[in-house]
Chains A and B, each alone.
Chain A
Amino acid sequence: MAVTGLVFIGYVLLHMYGNLWAFSGQEAFDDYAHHLRELLTPMLPYGGLLWILRVVLLASLVGHAAAAFALWSRAAKARDRRYAVKKVVTATLSSRTMRWGGVALLAFVIFHILHLTTHTINPGGDPESPYLRLVGSFQVWWVAVIYLLAMLALGMHIRHGAFSMLQTLGLTDNRRRYRVAHAVGLVLAIVVAGGFALVPLGVLLGIVTT
C-alpha cells in the first residue's frame, strides 16, 4: 500500500506540475503535452514513456486496491460484532475516509481518463488541442465542480496517505519524525490538491481562457 502510494504521489506531483503549464497559454501547454510523448525518443517509440507510466500506474492501482481490499476484509473479520456506540476520539476525517475516498477517487480517475485521455466524454466539445479541450471543459461549471471535488478528495487522501506511507515504511520511528511525517502529509496534500485546483479555478475565474 505504501509503495504503490509512493508511486501515486510521485505521479500526481509530476502531473500537477504539467498542468500548471496551462497558465502559460495554449502553445506552452500543448508543447508540454507533445514533449511528454517525445520524451526519451528515439530510445523509446513516440508516447512510449507515457505507456510505461500507464502500465506502472495500472499495476500500482491494482496493488493499491488489492492491499486496500485485503485490509478492509481483515478489518471486517477482526471485529465480527460491531459496537452499539462507537465514538471517534482523535482520528482525522481524512484517515477515516481513506476507503470510500479511495473508491471515489477511482471513479474520478475513470471519468478523467474517459474525458481527457480517450475523449469518450466530451462535455466541452472535442478539439484536438489538449489546451483547448482542458479549458473548454472547465468552462462547463459542473465539470469544474467535479474536478474540484475530486481534488478535495485527493488532498484528503494524500494528507493521511502520505503520512501513513512514511509510517508504514518505518521512517517515523521517533516523536520528531512522526510529527514531521504528519506535516509532510499536510503539505503534500495542499500542494498537490491546491496545484491541481488552480487550473479549473483559473478557468472559472477567467484567468485561463481560450
Chain B
Amino acid sequence: MNLTLKIWRQPNGSATGEMVTYPITDVSEDMSFLEMLDVLNERLTAEGEEPVAFDSDCREGICGMCGLMINGVAHGPEVTTTCQLHMRSFSDGDVVTIEPWRASGFPVLRDLAVDRSAFDRIIDAGGYVSVNTGAAPDAHATPVPKENAERAFDAATCISCGACVAACPNGSASLFLGAKITHLAELPQGQAERHTRVLNMVHQHDLEGFGGCTNIGECTAVCPKEIPQDVIATLNKDMRHALWNRV
C-alpha cells in the first residue's frame, strides 16, 4: 500500500518543529508500524536526509519505550503499543499523522522522542517498599488473598509508556500514578508506607507539571495494558485517608 506520512520533525529540544510530509510506497501489511518507519529511515538515509528519531526497544509490547501519537490516538488505532501495531490496520492511500507525546512533563528531545524521566522521579518519591536486600522474611510469612494479589498484578502491568498522559485532555498522569499506588496498596508489604507514599507521589506528580484528573477516561481507553480507571479511585481514596490522617 502507499501512504502519506505527516511526521513531526524537530532537530532538538530547543528548536521549533514542524510537520513534514513524506509519501511512502510499497508498505507491506505485515510490517509493524515501526518497521514501516525503519523503511522510511533507510530511504531518507539513502537520500541524504537525517532519519526520523523515535524510541523503541523490545518491540514486543512490554518495555514501554515506544509511543507515538498516530492520527490523534496514542499508540494508534488498536489497543496496543505502537510496536505491536501492524500496517494491516491502515488502508492504501491513508494519510497518517505521527506526532510525539505532547505534555509539558515530557519534553521533546528530537522528532518523535520525548523525555519521560518525570515518571522515574514520581517513583522516586515513594513508589516502592522500603526493604533492604537480605531483610526479607520468608516469602510465605504473609499470605496475600488471591483477589488482592490479582488486583495488585493488574495494576503492576503498567509499562510506563506515557500514553495515558498523551491521551489525557488534562495532561494528567493519574493513571500511571494510580497504577503504582494500587499495586502497592493491595499488598500487605505496601501498607507501612501507604499514606506517605500517596502524598509524596501526588506532590511530585504535580511538581512535574502534569495536569489534574477529571475522570474522563481517555487514559484507560488507550492504555496498552488496559489499566482500569478504578486505580485512580484507589489513589483518591488513599489520598483522602492520608489527608484525614494528617488532621
Docked Cα-Cα span, A78 to B168, in Å, equals: 10
Chain A residues near B218 (CB, 8 Å)?
88-91
Docked Cα-Cα span, A194 to B213, in Å, equals: 29
User: Contact: A75 with B212, CB < 8 Å?
Assistant: yes
CB under 8 Å from chain B, chain A span 68-98: 70-71, 74-75, 77-91, 95-96, 98
For the complex formed, measure the closest distance between the CB of B90 and the CB atoms of chain A, giving whole angstroms: 15
User: Contact: A75 with B228, CB < 8 Å?
Assistant: no
Docked Cα-Cα span, A89 to B214, in Å, equals: 16
Chain A residues near B6 (CB, 8 Å)?
84
Judged by a CB distance under 8 angstroms, whether B99 is at the interface is: yes
**Number of A residues whose C-beta is below 8 Å from B?**
37
CB under 8 Å from chain A, chain B span 156-192: 167, 169-172, 182
Given known A-B contacts A83-B102, A87-B73, A168 and B215 have beta carbons under 8 A apart:
yes
Judged by a CB distance under 8 angstroms, whether A209 is at the interface is: no
Given known A-B contacts A77-B211, A82-B102, A173-B237, A167 and B170 have beta carbons under 8 A apart:
no
Docked Cα-Cα span, A88 to B216, in Å, equals: 10
CB under 8 Å from chain B, chain A span 157-181: 160, 163-164, 166-175, 177-178
- From A70, A95, A169, B217 is in contact (CB under 8 Å) with A95
- From B8, B221, B222, B233, A170 is in contact (CB under 8 Å) with B233
Closest B residue to A71 by beta carbon equals: B212
Docked Cα-Cα span, A38 to B101, in Å, equals: 59
Judged by a CB distance under 8 angstroms, whether B83 is at the interface is: no
- CB pairs A–B below 8 angstroms (6 shown): A74-B212, A91-B169, A166-B233, A168-B215, A169-B237, A174-B230
Docked Cα-Cα span, A19 to B107, in Å, equals: 53
Closest A residue to B17 by beta carbon equals: A81
Judged by a CB distance under 8 angstroms, whether B209 is at the interface is: yes
Docked Cα-Cα span, A88 to B218, in Å, equals: 7
Judged by a CB distance under 8 angstroms, whether B240 is at the interface is: yes
Question: Which chain A residues have a beta carbon within 8 Å of chain B's beta carbons?
Answer: 70-71, 74-75, 77-91, 95-96, 98, 160, 163-164, 166-175, 177-178
Given known A-B contacts A89-B218, A168-B236, A178 and B228 have beta carbons under 8 A apart:
yes
Given known A-B contacts A77-B211, A167-B233, A178-B230, A85 and B97 have beta carbons under 8 A apart:
yes
Given known A-B contacts A83-B72, A173-B233, A178-B229, A98 and B102 have beta carbons under 8 A apart:
no
Question: Which chain B residues have a beta carbon within 8 Å of chain A's beta carbons?
Answer: 6, 8, 19, 69, 71-73, 97, 99, 102-105, 151, 167, 169-172, 182, 209-218, 220-222, 228-230, 232-240
For the complex formed, measure the closest distance between the CB of B59 and the CB atoms of chain A, giving whole angstroms: 24
Docked Cα-Cα span, A178 to B228, in Å, equals: 9
User: Contact: B104 with A78, CB < 8 Å?
Assistant: yes
Given known A-B contacts A79-B103, A81-B102, A171 and B237 have beta carbons under 8 A apart:
yes
Q: Which 10 A-B pairs have the closest CB atoms?
A: A170-B237, A78-B171, A78-B211, A87-B72, A90-B221, A170-B236, A85-B72, A75-B170, A172-B233, A164-B215
Docked Cα-Cα span, A85 to B94, in Å, equals: 14
Given contacts A91-B169, A167-B229, 16 further A-B contacts (CB under 8 A): A71-B212, A71-B214, A74-B170, A79-B103, A83-B72, A83-B99, A83-B102, A84-B8, A85-B71, A87-B72, A166-B233, A167-B232, A169-B237, A169-B240, A170-B238, A177-B233
Closest B residue to A181 by beta carbon equals: B233
Chain B residues near A77 (CB, 8 Å)?
104, 209, 211
User: Contact: A98 with B73, CB < 8 Å?
Assistant: no
User: Contact: A89 with B167, CB < 8 Å?
Assistant: yes
Closest B residue to A174 by beta carbon equals: B230
User: Contact: B230 with A75, CB < 8 Å?
Assistant: no
User: Contact: B104 with A80, CB < 8 Å?
Assistant: yes
Closest A residue to B154 by beta carbon equals: A175
Closest A residue to B147 by beta carbon equals: A174
User: Contact: B72 with A86, CB < 8 Å?
Assistant: yes
Chain B residues near A90 (CB, 8 Å)?
217-218, 220-221
Chain A residues near B213 (CB, 8 Å)?
168
Docked Cα-Cα span, A71 to B211, in Å, equals: 7
